[in-house]
Chain A
Amino acid sequence: MMRFLRSCFVIARRDFAATVLSKAFIFFLLGPLFPLLLGGVFGGIGARVAARTDKPVVAVIAPHADFERLNAARAQLAEAVGDDTLVRLIGYSPEPDLAVQEKRLLASSEPPIRAVLSGGLAEPHLTGSLAGDPATAGQINLLVNNARSGEAERIAEVAVTDAPATSGTLAKDRAVTGQIGQVLLFFLTLMLSTMVLSQLIEEKSNKIIEVIAAAVPIDAMFVGKLFAMLSASILGLVVWISSGALLIQFIKHGGVATLPMPAVGWPAFLALAVTYFGLNYLLFGAAFLMIGAQASTAREVQTLSMPVTFAQVLIFGLASTAIGSADSAEAIGAAIFPLSSPLVMLARAAERAEIWPHLLAILWQAAWVALILRMGSQLFRKTVLKSGPRLPWWKFGRA
């Protein structure tokens, strides 16, 4: 056993040093910046486009006084539900030929008009392509009614006392924390599994694998490789978490203390995040290494790893159903299913304060990791060097 562990250590030390001391590791550390940057850029562009195109514009052909009352009713409503959710109103004085004016306005591209309201407040009539947009007609109805009755000016002001956090806001914030944790865990695992796979392919093509296989048990190579990448990624996690905390400390008023506290508290949450990350990575990394053992080219790897990647996405979908309903049957089922368990339990750590379910889950997941590592290393040994007698599938795991 000691010799096996020593062999694992030799492989892991080489792989860890080769990974961490390479230029590619700098890009790996910068990796999480790119999705944030892209998210920010495309999110901003999307929001601008949405603001330009999504808010319907209604042309109001009415006397000036009627338009002013409609606009006042709109302003009042905007205070309650927000300006972005309401139609935009543009006033036009009535022309002698109303039909021609309506037709011209509906064809206008600057601004693009969704509908035309004519007849003033006395006999309002809305013309436009509104079959698929009941909200615009509904809002115009409400605005006309408010403008007619003059209720807009008589709305009572409710006195408001601001409280820092309520159960409602805390639940929402914790759900967001759980969701962010799941997304990070999912993407990191995906990225690292692919990295360990490409390293294996490099070794197979370099023929180094034969030198290693002649010196140490192939199972030790399998386990050593997995733990090397795990160590490198935990180093990455520490760097990212520290950098993130520093960034928040500098740019957010009140610093990290203002972040919504996960239900188990920050220290326990971070420790659980690292543990669940490790277990999740070992489960999927083992699967990817098994794939790498069967493939000899990058193309074969892509073909073989596609179903596993799809399965990962499905499992991520399953795990995300647990957010916001940690005690539901779906959430408990997903927590028991070993491949989704780490993701689900991380979200639970953000939302529920009990620690004991995590101890159970870690033991459960560790048992599965041990089983999959054992199966993985056996299959790896059989396929990476085409070694050993063939076994029928029902005897797999007993070799």
Chain B
Amino acid sequence: MLRQVQHEPEVANFAVEAVDLVKDFAETRAVDGVNLAVPSGSIYGLLGPNGAGKTTTLRILIGIIDPSSGVRRVLGRERPLDAAREVGYLPEERGLYPAMHARDAIAFMGALRGLPLAEGRRRADALLAEHNLGDWAKKPIRTLSKGMAQTVQLLGTIIHKPRLIVLDEPFAGLDAINQARLEELIRREARAGATIIFSTHVIAHAERLCERVAIIAKGKVAFDGGVDEARSKLRPIVRLRTRASGGPWLAAIPPGARREGDEYVFELPEGGPEPFLKALIDGGAGIETLAIERPGLHDAFVAIAGNAAAAEMGQDKPQ
């Protein structure tokens, strides 16, 4: 849904907008009517299982490929490449010239976005030093570890101080320490005023970082909104352990409840906690423990994107 179209790039409320994007590859429809609106200055997560269409959507948004139909607007411009100097992009499949020195690789990526080479080298030295890679500045990329090379590419993505940073699966292949560093870098860029869009199939990152998320499944946007809004689509979860194994209190347990060990796990009934608790106590349940939990983004994703998608995502646990 296109909420507001601004003709002046400087005053656009949305850094990225997409209306009815469709992309067909031969007989396959990879993106099927995607509508997005990414508020300026936000951290926006694109969630979805592998093959959901996240990467294709991002590639369309930044102009690597054209949509079969639909409209996109990046920083107020209809041709994404017109905004290329204000955009940073980290592709899912990382690529650097193996023979190039780390600082030159970063400076080259800046030069592609209009940053003079000398200034790019100066900034690259500073960024590498800041990320404890100062000693590697003049070493060829092929001598760096995979994590280091990924950091170099990420630094190349932000070297020109872009207003919009697009990261495709940025946490893939990083160890826990580097994932935490990357999360901090994303927060810092957002504090500096950049809009950040990243795709992931690991929901924990999105839950910690994002203000807004879009959940994509099978090429369609199943949800687009705030993280709290996504969570609020689900009722709170009740975990109950009782001393009594039978009795009238069992009538208060909803039919969809499941057993996890000694516990019953189910959604809080519609009437709220008070009548439910009263029914348990009056029915002689003998409450041993009772917890009412707010659902996480993962639960919301399961509900929104469906069990099939959730099963795929479950194969890749957050670190």
Q: Which residues of A contact B (CB under 8 A)?
A: 6-7, 10, 13-14, 18, 22, 203, 206-217, 385-389
Contacts and interface: CB of A to CB of B under 8 A. Distances in A.
Interface string B56-99: 00010011111010000000000001001001010101111111
Contact of B95 (A207, A215, A217, A385): A207
Contacts of B89: 211, 214-215
B91 A214 contact: yes
B93 A214 contact: no
A386 B113 CA distance: 23
A10 B111 contact: yes
8 contacts: A13-B117, A14-B108, A206-B96, A210-B59, A211-B89, A216-B84, A217-B81, A389-B68
Nearest to B112: A215
Contacts of B109: 211, 215
Given A14-B108, A207-B94, A215-B113, A387 B81 contact: no
Contacts of A210: 59, 64, 91, 93, 95
A208 B96 contact: yes
User: Size range of the interface on B?
Assistant: 20 to 34
A211 B91 contact: yes
A203 B96 CA distance: 9
Contacts of A215: 84, 89, 109, 112-113
Contacts of A203: 95
A213 B62 CA distance: 10
Contact of A207 (B68, B81, B93): B93
Nearest to A11: B112
Counting from the closest, the 3 A-B pairs by CB-CB distance are A207-B95, A215-B112, A208-B95
A389 B66 CA distance: 7
B248 interface: no
B246 interface: no
Given A18-B97, A206-B95, A210-B91, A385 B64 contact: yes
A6 B114 contact: yes
Contact of B66 (A6, A208, A217, A388): A388
- Summarize B's interface: helix, strand, loop or mixed: loop
Contacts of B94: 207
Given A214-B64, A216-B112, A386 B95 contact: no
A18 B64 contact: no
Nearest to B89: A214
Contacts of A206: 95-98
Contacts of B59: 210
A207 to B, nearest CB: 3
Contact of A387 (B64, B112, B113, B117): B64
B112 A386 contact: no
B100 interface: yes
Nearest to A9: B111
Which among A208, A215, A389 has the greatest number of chain B C-beta atoms within 10 A? A215
A212 B65 CA distance: 13
Nearest to A213: B64
A387 B66 contact: yes
Contact of B112 (A18, A212, A388, A389): A212
Contacts of A7: 112
